[in-house]
Chain A
Amino acid sequence: MPRVSRWFVRAALGYLVLGFTAGAALLWNKGRPFAPGLARLLPVHVEFVLVGWTVQLVMGVATWIFPRFGVPRSAYGSAAAGWLAFALLNGGVWAAALGGAAGRPRLALAGRAAEALAALVLARNIWPRVRASGLSPM
């Protein structure tokens, strides 16, 4: 597993725990209310679990596991592009989560834009690796 994938996957595991913590607090509060303002955590829960955990894990595993032979620069594509996607995605997750929780729509918008840019950078980097390996007939 390349270094950038390890960072993607470890960050994803961190968001899994943080996102589940926010979700558990919201669900407990729904059943046995203990903090009236807790509903503001919903954007944090959604952003951390959907993008921070799920999308990030897929990005890390795809960078690691897709076919590698004949890709220019390095076996995993451009390392700089991988790190740029990692930085954009994680900056975007925090901006979107905090923007949503704090009621600052411009911050949330910037976060979502950074997440979309991360996906674009990663897709461009991985695109040449989406091809037949020569081992399977399908």
Chain B
Amino acid sequence: MPPLTRWFIRSSFVYLLAALAAGIVQAAPGAVRAAPVVAVWGPVYVHLLTVGWITQMIFGVAYWMFPRHSRAAPRGSPALGIAAYALLNAGLLLRVVGEPAATLRPGGPAGWLLAAAAALQWLGGAAFAINTWPRVKER
């Protein structure tokens, strides 16, 4: 298993635990009333699971197991792989911080965090797709 795959998979487990912990807090009686930030955690909780856990696990396993790109570069471009990891995680973490803040104070500076999170996650997804596309072949 290449080091980048290990990073993807270990990070995905951290997000899984974070998402499930957020889910517990959200479902705990009285928690929503006690902390306004918890009441607006819904989209963050969903994206911790779908982007942080599922998508990141797929990225890691695909980088490891898909057919070789070539003998010289079996997993395509390592730089694109690392970029996919860094951009996806930076974008998701910005979203975790920025989305509750922007929801509680619409129009505030936290809105720029969401814009940056959107751009970073899109670039991460595009980097993965570009690097993986040539590896989708017979052998």
Is there contact, CB below 8 Å, between B136 and A31? no
**Residues of chain B within 8 A of A50, CB atoms compared:** 50
Q: How many residues of A contact B (CB 8 A)?
A: 26
Residue of A26, A27, A53 with most chain B CB atoms under a 10 A cut-off: A27
A interface, over-half SS: helix
Is there contact, CB below 8 Å, between A10 and B126? no
B interface, over-half SS: helix
Of all chain B residues, the one with the shortest Cβ separation from A14 is B129
Instruction: Tell me the residues in window 27-61 of chain A with beta carbons closer than 8 Å to chain B beta carbons.
Output: 27-28, 30-32, 49-50, 53-54, 57
**Residues of chain B within 8 A of A6, CB atoms compared:** 136-138
Shortest CB distance B98–A (Å): 7
A130 on interface, CB distance cutoff 8 Å: no
CA–CA, A49 and B103, complex, Å: 23
Is there contact, CB below 8 Å, between B122 and A20? yes
Contact A24 B122, CB 8 Å, known A1-B138, A6-B136: yes
Instruction: Tell me the residues in window 83-139 of chain B with beta carbons closer than 8 Å to chain A beta carbons.
Output: 95, 98-99, 102-103, 110-115, 117-119, 121-122, 125-126, 128-129, 132-133, 136-139
**20 contacting pairs across A/B (C-beta < 8 A):** A1-B67, A6-B136, A16-B125, A17-B125, A20-B121, A20-B126, A23-B121, A24-B119, A24-B122, A25-B118, A27-B99, A28-B118, A30-B102, A31-B102, A31-B112, A31-B114, A31-B118, A49-B50, A53-B55, A54-B58
Which residues of A line the B interface, CB within 8 A? 1-3, 6, 9-10, 13-14, 16-17, 20-21, 23-28, 30-32, 49-50, 53-54, 57
